Structure formats: structure tokens, C-alpha cells
Structure 1
Amino acid sequence: MSSLEISNLRKSYGSVEVLKDINLSAESGEFVALVGPSGCGKSTLLSIIAGLESITSGEVRIEDKLVNDEAPKDRDIAMVFQSYALYPTMTVRENMTFGMECRNVPKAEQAEAIDRVAELLQIEHLLDRKPGQLSGGQRQRVAMGRALVRDPKLFLFDEPLSNLDAKLRIEMRTEIKKLHKNVGKTMVYVTHDQIEAMTLATRIAVMHKGVLQQYDTPNAIYETPANLFVAGFMGSPNMNFLSGRVVSTGGKASVRLDGTGITLPLDGVRCGVPADGQEVILGVRPEHFSPAHEQRAERKGRVSISVPVTIDMEEPTGAETILMTHIGGQEAVIVCEPDEAPRPGETMEFAIDMAKASLFDPRSEARL
């Protein structure tokens, strides 16, 4: 078990700075997901942890040991790649023992490690096959097995599920979660899929344009996003952003939505005290709308307010229906149960659970 500490890390290619003052730490046994859109710097950061990329400035420490100048082989890490990186002419057993052979690990120890890991990953029946005879999910298990036999301090995963189909990705997500629970080692996992990050990680680092936007638990990032980017990136469908202006009446603040006569009280919103007349963006997740006649939010003791919503389009997904709507002139998305969904063209009253809403500054994009 080991910890990871990254301090004031910067990485530049010539005049282009791709990582900007990154600070994050992982406790021993944590599962940290690095998530963000393509080009945000997450894979570069993983490569720096692995020792495959140099740093411009800052520090990387593994188990309190500075490893800036250490070669990858001396960092005691194991990496699982997106492409599996298996030797096609070797059997599964030979692929898994190759690294141990290079380090002159005794044959008895190799056999013991193979037996232990093969049983853990349920690939005992695949040991004598070659990669070309395996499915994508089986190859990924072998790639993980090759990392596990090393028993390293850190496991690094570089988008390991992106080559798999949707059903297999869900299955492998479960396998990786079980694996982390069983081995108890620190894992750093790169993905562009925010669902993977939410379901797997104990903490998530959300990155954008080389900047660490927020580093927190999945629940904290989802419920209290630090800024507009995090709020929009985490969650599917995306959070709704409704622009408006703060109005104060009798000492109580509300948001009057632009282009409408709709005023929403801010009593239940977890935010600072905005100034009267201040421009704001109200963030509401699609699942925090509910048909007004049911008044679910009130039954839970939360503050809610009803607004008229016009339905433009619907997307049935089976368990739920996604509604493309507009509130006044502003587009919004609502998720509701199929038997509650109004038809396109209809207008219906929906209650907004204001206790779950967020408020952002449109200029700085930061949470208020």
C-alpha cells in the first residue's frame, strides 16, 4: 500500500503549457479517477506519474519518496493500457510472466503469482491461449493480470475500457471495482467517461485545459460542482443552466429568469448571499424536476417552486423518459418516469427542487 502526492506540477512542450500547477494527493488504497475531455492533460499526468514523461517543475512522491528523476522500472508501479499491449505470439501465461522473467523472479514464485491472479480474475482456463483467441474483455483481464502479478505500490489505468462495447464496459467496470476491493491498492484511473469516474472512484479529479478544476468525492462533485465546467461535464444528461438576475424583496433573494416572468426563491439553494441585481446562472439537474401535482420535493421537506414547461421533444429510454423543453425562451432537459411524461407540444407544471440547485457567477463561472 502506498500514497501518491503531486505538488505544484507543471508540464510544458516548448511554449505550450499542458499541465498548470496540479496539486492532488491519494491516500493508500484510494481509487482516484482523472476525468475530463480529450486534450485536458489527464493522460499526460498519468504518464508523468508512471515516469514516461518528464516534468517541467513540481514534485511527484510515491510513498513519501520523491520520484521525479526515477526511471519507470524503479517506481514500483504497474500500468494497464487502452490497447492491452499483449504479445501476440505468447500465451496468456507467458504474457503474465514476462515481466517476472526479466526480473529473474524464481519459477516457483512466478507459478504462485500466476495461480493467485488467475483465480482472482477467473482466467485459469485461458492461460494456454494466445491473445488472438480471446475476446476484448478477456484480453483486458489478462492485461490487468500482468499488472497484478507484480504486486506494485500503484496501479495506473489509461482508459482501459474505451475499446469495449457498452455492455462489456459495464461488466468490466464491475470487475475493476471488485478488483480494487480485493487487492486494496492505490489506483489512478484515466477516463473521459464521467459515469466510469462516478461509479469507480473514491475521489475524482476533474481536469480542463490542463487545470485541475475540482478534486473531491463523487457525491460532492455531483452535488456541489465548483464551477460551470464541472457542473456541465459531470452528469448525464447535463445540468440545465438558466440565466437570470437576483431580485430582493423583503430581505429575501430570488432569481428572475431572463425572458420570463418566472421568479424562483433562493431560500433552499446552498450558496452565498448574492447582491441585489447581480446576474447569475441557476443550475438545475434534469432529475430535480418533478410533476408539480406530485409535490415530491415538499414531501421530503425541501423547498420547491413550480414553473410552466413546454415540451419540444421526448426520448424514451425504457426506465425513464428524457424531455427536451424550454422554460420561457431558455432550453432545458427534464428526466421523468415514462407514465408521467407529457407529449411534445404540451405545457405542464413542473416543480424544481431548489435545495438541489446551484448558483454560478456568469463572469468567473465559479459557484457562488
Structure 2
Amino acid sequence: MKIDSRAASRTLAEIGNWRAVLLHGDDAGLIRERARACVRLVGGSTDDPFRVAILDADQHARIEEEAGALSLIGGRRAVWVREVQDSALAGVMAALSLDTDTLLVLEAPGLAARAKLRTTLEGHRSVAVIGCYPEEGRALAGSLSGLFRDASVSIDRDALTWLSSVLGADRGAVRQEVEKLILYAGEGGRLGLDDVQDCIGDSATATLDDATSAAMAGDRVSADTALERALAEGLSPIALARACLSLMTRLGKVMGWMDEGKSRQEALKQLRPPVFFRKAESFGKALERWDRETLARACEAVQGFERACKQTGSPDLALSRRLIAQLCLGPRSFRG
């Protein structure tokens, strides 16, 4: 059954009522986080060999076998299957036909919308099919607030705004940075803007934002420097694509409001979250450089870059450097 994104949290909290959950989408970090939570909820932990079985891509032939196995110490079992694609459909359906309460947790990053596995399980009433996509803007800020609240840490509004504007799209990277901040603040602590910037100012996620902002503004030296720092910190090219698309979407919104007759200042005030003050200059330069037509073509180029990076054996680091160079050249690189 396809689960609406608004009901995802509630469904995951009640995952014990389901036979299986299929987690798909572009955010591999969020998929892994949700899968881990499901396994813990049913199996008690993620490393109990009696109640949890973890199957990687080369072990999918054992799905039915593991689903039918009994726990030697009692309790419900969870079978955690990673890198699932259509080839696993037969094993999954065989497992679901068994008279067992074992929970199947299926990780399927990048699974196509028309994939047989996805369409089949969306029609299965005992299977929860949940999309996991990168959060942006208000949704990301809300998730961050929740993570800090759960850890009994408070964060100032300007610090939260800055944090949500620089963090990348991958949930795994976001959680790493949040855990770092929680450790820094301590239980019951409070985080201000200076605290947050001191803790993550040099992270790959922050340099991603620097690289994309500088590139769109035409600052080749700053863009290249920030990109190389991000590469050294383990940049995900997919995260680079998401950072570019996020900035381009925000630029497009401001351009649209200006086309409707609003002044530049009025349009910027309407943007949520607002442009962080340290990025105001580069954002303004980008507005002056780009127009709606070339911005749309640049978005298409970034989407093509993301697709290319998902191909096996893709020279993704070289493609990342080329993309930043193209954006630095500006609209003339994307005119027909």
C-alpha cells in the first residue's frame, strides 16, 4: 500500500502492524535511517543474530528462507534486505505468502516508479510502501527541530535557519552533523548561531553550499576552492546536484515574483527560508547574471549530471568539477 508522505512517520511508528515495508527514493541516508528504526522496533536491536537477518545484494536468494525461519529465543524476527530491485520480487512475494509474522524491511534506493517490485507491493494491503526523498526548506527545518528536541537541546531561530540552508540533501550527512551539535551542546544545552558555525562551518555540506553559491555568482576561484574542500571531505555528487537544484529553485521563485511585479527587495522578503545574510551578496549576483530561460536549461543540465553520476563506473568527481565550471561561466554556457 502506498503511504502518503504526511503519514510516513505514523506508519513507521506502527510498523509492527505490517508484514513488510518498502523504502524507496533518492535519499539513501533517510532510507537507511528508517530501515534501521523499523528493524529495532520489531527485532529489538539491529545486531541480534537470532531475531535479525541482514541480506545484502548477493544474498537475495535467501529472502524466503530467512522469512520462514524461527527465532531460537522467541520474539518476532526482522529480515533486513538491502539494495532491492525487481530481481528480488519473486523471493519477496514467496516470503509474504508464508504463515509467519517476520517483518521484511526492504531498502530500494533509486527504484523506478514503474518498477514491478514497487507497483506490485503498492497493491499489497499488508505492505507499506514509503518514498524517502531529500527534505528542503520548511520540511528540513522541522526535521532538524525535532532531532534537537528529542535530544533535549534547544537551538536559536537564526542558527536553525543557517543550518537548514547549508546542510546537504542526504539524511545520513544531516544526522551526522546534528549528532555533532548535540554532543557539543550537551543535554539541556542551547545552540546559537556562533556555536553552529563553529561546529560545522568547515563540513562538506557547508562547502557544498559555498561552491554552488559562488558558481552561480560567477566566482570561479571561490567555487573551485569550496568544491575541492568538499571533495576532500567525501562529497557525494548526488548531494552536489541537490544543492544546485535547491539554489536554482530559490532563484527561480524570486525571478517569478519579480516577473509578477514585485520589487527585488519584496521578492527576497517573500522567500522562505530567507537568504542567509552571508549569502545575500552571492545570491544577488546570481539574480543579476541569470534569466528564467538559461536558469531552466541549467536545471536540466544538473538533472542530467545527477543521472550520469548514478551510472555504474561514472567519473563522478570529474563530472562534478565540470558542472561547477559550467555554472561559473554562467548563462552563455546554457544558451541554445
TM band (smaller chain): 0.3 to 0.5
Tell me the TM-score normalized by structure 2.
0.33
Greater Rg by CA: 1
Q: More strand by proportion, 1 or 2?
A: 1
Q: More helix by proportion, 1 or 2?
A: 2
